[in-house]
Structure 1
Amino acid sequence: MLWAQFPSVKIVRQAKGKYSPDVDERCFTYCSQTVRGRAEQSEPRCRTFCLRRVFAHEVQRAIAVHDGKPPPAHAKIPLPPEGQNIPSLTHILIGESPEGQEGRAQQDEVRYWEEGYYVWLSKNKWAAHEKLDLMTFDLERQAVWAKYKQDKTEAWQKKQVRNGNAQAEQVAKGDAQAVGGRSSARRPFPDLAGQSILLPMPPPFPPLWEQIDQLLAPSHKLFALTQSTLQSGDQLKLAHRMWEKALTDQPFVLARNVCTRMWDKWKKGPPDDTA
């Protein structure tokens, strides 16, 4: 066509939502090895840092249509295990969650993904490998994978308990073959969450004024008590009683008795350790 030969201006609009070309996560991994570690075939020392941006369309879904516009509803997608605990500054510096050991206690309140930025830190190279694989999944598929790992691990733990009880019963019955013990099945998945941290940015630390109020709480009580005693006249009564006592010989007698006892203790010397 003749019209197609004329120069034209093309306006390209980037896709929004799940088809947007915007970058939502970047990861940086640093590993180091020593000469001795290489000779002893030790694991390298690795650190991984990831910055993740969660968009609104990832944590919202439309459940109904009202006036032609679907109202957004929060999609309650739970955070992975390393994001369920808010670590202290010490745990952030060392790169471990506050409850990194096996069998961590379940939190009463489950934390979910929210719109915003998240920081993921880890010192385990296998956790970094898994993180790279999970970068191909959306939040829902990541939650499904975490649930699958949790179910498999819980089933493995229950099986270990049953095998231990059965072995104890056989030992009690005098079964010589059970004394050597059974070869326990290998853990289905390593405990990678214990060496990783997931934090929202900024972290949900207590407000500054709340910490100041807690620090000054004893002072508030002291000022309130002082004000109440002044208004009731107790402070004035105490001052009158102290003045009356000062005009008597009781302060002098008390000071004399204290000095006499101190002098007696000084003359006796330190107590005998061999007694």
Structure 2
Amino acid sequence: MALHQSRNPGAGAGALPPLPPEGQPERVPWQLGGKRGKVESDAMDADYDEDDPPTGIPGRVLEPPRTWKEGWYLWSMGSLSAFWNHTHQMATTLENVDQNGKVKRPPRRQPARLVEIDHEFDNHTEENLLIPIPPDTPPIIEPVKKFLKPSGLVLNLFYDSVVEGHQREFFGRVWEKAQTDEPWKLAYNSVKRFYERWKQNARSGDDDEEEKRR
């Protein structure tokens, strides 16, 4: 859309005009890489740095507006007037689109002053949605990789122990011990200690009941 018709085609991405209000993170649902509908606690920047520019809210970092980039965009409209407005913008340049977007953006809290506007535009921002294709969603595979990383390390260690023969040596020792009476002695002693502990606890419980009766 009119990217090569921009006045500064050789400028970097930072020199391009920002996306219209319907393409900014505040208007895009969080499932598509935006911030709309996101819980306030989740919206806080976890990588907050003291050197970041402040915004007046602890833990919140001031983000620059999203700008136009080469590629495909999905522009959803909810009314006929918004459709005609978007169709008109397709034939113009990004600078003109930005000027139209400035009129549609919600005003910030500033001292009252007289502002003259040459032309009035219908604000269809609430009915529109602009997202890049593919959307700027966080990759789903990264959390899965982090979750399965410990399992991969364990499997690698087990594989190395099998290749180096440690597992075979271990099972050989287990088999040798199984041919002797040591496993049976160990099982007998464990059951015997468990029974003695259980019997001792039962006696102490009976003594407590007798003391309560007295």
Q: TM-score, normalised by structure 2?
A: 0.47
Q: TM-score, normalised by structure 1?
A: 0.39
Greater percentage in strand: 1
Structure ranking higher on relative contact order (CA contacts 8 Å, 6+ apart): 2
